[in-house]
Amino acid sequence: MATEFGVYTSLDGGVNWQKLPGTPNMGFRDLVIQKRENDLVAASFGRGFYVLDDYSALREMTPARLKEEGTLFTPRTAKWYIPRSNLGNTGADFYIAENPEFGAVFTYHLAKEYSTQKQDRKKQEKEANKKGTNIPFPGYAALDAENSEKPAKVWISISDEDGNIVRHLTQKAKKGTHRLSWDLRHASTQAIDPDRKGNRWNASGPMVVPGNYSAQLSLEKDGVVQSLGEAVSFEVKAIREGVLKGVDYATYDTYRKELTAVQREMQSLTDLFNRAEKQLKALKKAAAKTPLAPEAVAGELYAIEQALTALTIKAEGSPARDEIGERNPPSVQSHMRAAYRGITTTYGPTPLHRKSLRLAKSMLGDLRPEVERIAQQKLPALAEKLTAAGAPYIIGQQ
């Protein structure tokens, strides 16, 4: 006999359950609960089966809690490991289905809809169309207000056991029950480029260490953020003890912070160098349109250009070597790539990773004075000289 399967809610904290109205009935032959993972597996008559990953939130979905404006349910313990796939390209040889979301998966419920002014207006206009009544023009001020309005969104802020926020998750606010997963990583430490579209491949940072964490649900609407309900606690736990003994979690986290600091130093120096190259290009164009004799600034422009080229070779290696496949000496980038591998495994940094980080930091220290001398002294002095001679205004010039 088939089980009437739909979406249910607890009436008294988990003993008696009532099917939610409006949810579908499906014929299932078998229902099995995986107790360790709190998963519900349902097999149908049509050879298919479905898995409801982590149904434990249903135990907390009492009618009273579902009436609250917002509720974040306690997640199950998050498994700490480095996910990977060993299948490769299998063609049609294997059936492959999606795995459960990796990391900590949060289930939350919002009791009401957070519609925008535009959505409300369109709903009213739709009703007016059905009734055949006139639709009034709202006015340009109202339309401008609609266009500038931002949809409401939820925040889940994750903190470590010391109360330090390690990651924010966001999602558009919608009525009902939703899920949002955290990949157990810190926020990305990559430099922010406001002109770049889309996300970089490494949009998140290094993994957190196992331990106790908490999460708080909040709602943002019209620039106002309010907490919804109480924070929930959960654990991030390693799935096994490794055969090879790595560093302890505190040492790993200290290395992560040191790596982040050097990465920031490299990114700021790269940004300063790129802005210097861009300014030099602009000054060369301005010089050609300035009522000065060519020899008045040609020597200075040439000297700066040669200095920037020399810095590029020093930092990245010889282009002539690259052209014929000859190996360059280790650079700042190559040392940083090696150092970053120290936080990509569960074993933590090795002595080689630490050495690479020290070398990268030392090389950056050697490069910075030369880059600053060009960007903060030579280029501004040349820009003043051209401005005094009547050069055109350069966009972005201070």
Question: What is 306-375 written as a DSSP string?
Answer: HHHHHHHHHHH--HHHHHTTPPPPP-HHHHHHHHHGGGSSSS---HHHHHHHHHHHHHHHHHHHHHHHII
Q: Is residue 354 part of a domain?
A: yes
The whole-number pLDDT of residue 12 equals: 45
Q: Is residue 52 part of a domain?
A: yes
339-374 tens-digit pLDDT = 999 998 888 899 999 999 999 999 999 999 999 999
Can you tell me the mean pLDDT for 226-243?
Answer: 91
Q: Is residue 66 part of a domain?
A: no
Q: Do 196 and 221 have their domain in common? A: yes
Beta strands in 36-141 (DSSP E): 39-44, 49-52, 70-72, 78-80, 104-110
Q: Do 219 and 266 have their domain in common? A: no
Which residue type is seen at 58? L
pLDDT at 14 > cutoff 50:
no
- The chain-wide mean pLDDT, for the chain, equals 86
- Quick one: pLDDT band at residue 91, thresholds 50, 70, 90? low
Q: Do 222 and 279 have their domain in common? A: no
Q: How far apart are CA 341 and CA 348, in angstroms?
A: 9
Q: Is residue 296 part of a domain?
A: yes
Can you tell me the mean pLDDT for 297-326?
Answer: 92
Q: Is residue 269 part of a domain?
A: yes
The whole-number pLDDT of residue 31 equals: 86
Q: Do 269 and 189 have their domain in common? A: no
Residue 339 tokens, joined? 């150092």
209-227 tens-digit pLDDT = 999 999 999 999 999 999 9
Q: Do 272 and 363 have their domain in common? A: yes
pLDDT at 3 > cutoff 50:
no
Q: Do 321 and 218 have their domain in common? A: no
Q: Do 2 and 55 have their domain in common? A: yes
Can you tell me the mean pLDDT for 75-90?
Answer: 80
Among the candidates 176, 210, 238, a domain finishes at: 238
Q: Do 219 and 267 have their domain in common? A: no
Can you tell me the mean pLDDT for 327-339?
Answer: 92
Q: Do 256 and 228 have their domain in common? A: no
Q: Is residue 89 part of a domain?
A: no
Q: How far apart are CA 103 and CA 79, in angstroms?
A: 6
Is-contact 73 57, C-beta < 8 A?
yes
151-167 tens-digit pLDDT = 999 999 999 999 999 99
The full length of the chain comes to 398
Q: Is residue 395 part of a domain?
A: no
Q: Do 384 and 253 have their domain in common? A: yes
93-148 tens-digit pLDDT = 666 777 788 999 999 999 999 999 999 999 999 999 998 898 889 999 999 999 99
Q: Do 297 and 206 have their domain in common? A: no
CATH code: domain of residue 178: 2.60.40
Among the candidates 238, 269, 289, a domain finishes at: 238
Residue 223 tokens, joined? 């620039």
3-5, strands of its sheet edge to edge: 3-5, 26-34, 39-44, 49-52
Q: Is residue 190 part of a domain?
A: yes
The whole-number pLDDT of residue 24 equals: 54
Domains of the chain: total: 3
- Quick one: pLDDT band at residue 80, thresholds 50, 70, 90? very high
Among the candidates 59, 76, 109, a domain finishes at: 59
Q: Do 369 and 259 have their domain in common? A: yes
pLDDT at 258 > cutoff 90:
yes
Q: List the domain range (segments joined by +) for residue 269.
A: 249-388
Q: Which range has the worst mean pLDDT, 106-120, 242-256, 305-319?
A: 242-256
Pairing of β 104-110 and β 70-72: antiparallel
